[in-house]
A = this chain, B = another copy of it.
Amino acid sequence: MPSERKLAEQLEVNRSTVILAYDELRALGIIESRMGSGTRVTKYKWGATPKHTLNWQRYVKGGNFLPNLPFLRRVREALEKDPSLIDFASGELGADLSPLEEINALMNENQHTEYLGYDNPQGFAPLRESLVSFLDEYRNIQTSDSSILITSGSQQSLYLITQCLLTPGDAVAIEDPSYCYSLPMFQSAGLRLFQLPIDDKGMRPDDVRSLYKKHRIKMVFINPNYQNPTGTLLANNRRTELLKVVSELGIPIVEDDPFSLTAYEGTPPAPLKSTDAVGSVLYIGSFSKIAASGLRVGWMVAPRSVVERLADARQQMDFGLSVVPQRVAAQFLKSSYIDPHLDRLRMELIFKRDVLIEALERELPDIVSFTIPQGGLHLWCKILPVVDGNKLFEEAIKKGIIFVPGSVYGSDDGYVRFTFARPKVEDIDQGISKFAKALRAVLD
């Protein structure tokens, strides 16, 4: 067969189109490519015309598990297609904020010589032990290693909870807006979602009571510290009230707390779990937003019976996590690197936030409004004129930047989530000019 380049020229199509076609034919076993010796029709081509052709599309469309939101699939495609896009969409730290040198140093200091067998279903014991002290010292949570489940991140913690602790048809309460709406896993688990509207002080505990009366909600999902996407901090009186309400109702709270240690100034806000008198709170934490998302290390603090149920299920899903990144995480938590890293992280986040705010105020005065976040990775930006979120999103990609449209989080078109932790400082300013051009183009 001609080379991909040649065929693309002959047919006057984009080379990537030919690459795709060749991939499909390879997957079907009709052609094969060998290193060096190019692509040829496989010697088994005689079989290429079965009586019934296997219809993969039927299978791909099957399954209870729902595909991701089109907007988020579009984000992924766009970033894969054009890595030069200025990325305000990926909810993670940029390379400049991750403790890569520290992690590398720790990996060199501590050579891996132990047996690399299947891990404890609850997660690497030394990591759970380091977490006991870390959670006590940094989050004022007193727990024991047997009450900790190591997960591959908050996402897996939420997935296990929705799959194992809730039954299809169950009603749950979720903040509005919330990153939870970007997770079809709730629908895949057959849950009915009810909204807890948030204002500048977070959600209102009374709403939990009324949702319970109306719908017998079984669980409340909360992201109280620098909420994703709004950046809101749940007010202290509401925290006390919320704990009171759920303990009266006898339902649990899932507290997702990935951002609190990024608190820009002063002591980080205490988690609900630290004043959870009756054990209503399933506490979820992670390394992803404070160190490196690529380690894939998160944790859950829960009653032993819950930890065991979820650990058992997780064994069946992926047979547990690799010990290698868990060892690094355990060493990092025990190391002297953690405090200096968190200090640097906070300073850099303030700096990036301010660069973003300056750019927005310069480029789009009177067109956007926002509350200045005091922690976290995101800025939640309201666009004052009426705008078509989809058009704006596509126009911005054309202009060379990408963000997550507010509609993904269950709010209306007029919002945008900018993750300022991800792009390089020097790109933030330029990115916002591109965004401004895109917005103006759509508004005209």
Contacts and interface: CB of A to CB of B under 8 A. Distances in A.
Interface of A: 20, 22-24, 26-30, 32-35, 42, 44-48, 50-57, 59-60, 62-65, 67-68, 73, 76, 80, 90, 92-95, 98, 100, 103-104, 107-108, 111-121, 133, 136, 142-144, 146-147, 151-153, 155-156, 159, 163-168, 170, 183-185, 188-190, 218, 243, 247-252, 275-280, 288, 292-297, 302-306, 309, 312-313, 315-325, 328
A188 to B, nearest CB: 8
B117 A54 contact: no
Contacts of A117: 90, 92-95, 98, 292-294
Contacts of A114: 100
A166 B62 contact: yes
What 9 A-B pairs come out closest when comparing CB atoms? Answer: A47-B277, A52-B250, A116-B294, A44-B277, A116-B292, A28-B279, A95-B115, A32-B142, A50-B247
B51 A250 contact: yes
Contact of A56 (B33, B107, B306, B323): B306
A316 B185 contact: yes
A142 B22 CA distance: 12
A54 B245 CA distance: 12
Contacts of A163: 63-65
Contact of A278 (B26, B53, B136): B53
B279 A27 contact: yes
Contacts of A111: 104, 107-108
A179 to B, nearest CB: 12
A296 B63 CA distance: 25
B322 A65 contact: no
A365 B280 CA distance: 58
A316 B183 contact: yes
Nearest to A28: B279
Contacts of A94: 115, 117
Contacts of A297: 322
Contacts of A188: 316
Contact of A328 (B76, B312, B324): B324
Contacts of A250: 50-55
A56 B146 contact: no
24 contacts: A23-B304, A27-B143, A27-B302, A29-B279, A47-B278, A48-B277, A48-B278, A52-B250, A56-B252, A59-B252, A60-B165, A65-B164, A67-B312, A68-B315, A92-B117, A107-B112, A108-B108, A155-B319, A159-B317, A185-B316, A188-B316, A296-B321, A322-B324, A324-B325
Given A60-B165, A116-B295, A118-B294, 7 more contacts: A26-B144, A48-B278, A56-B306, A59-B306, A94-B117, A183-B316, A293-B319
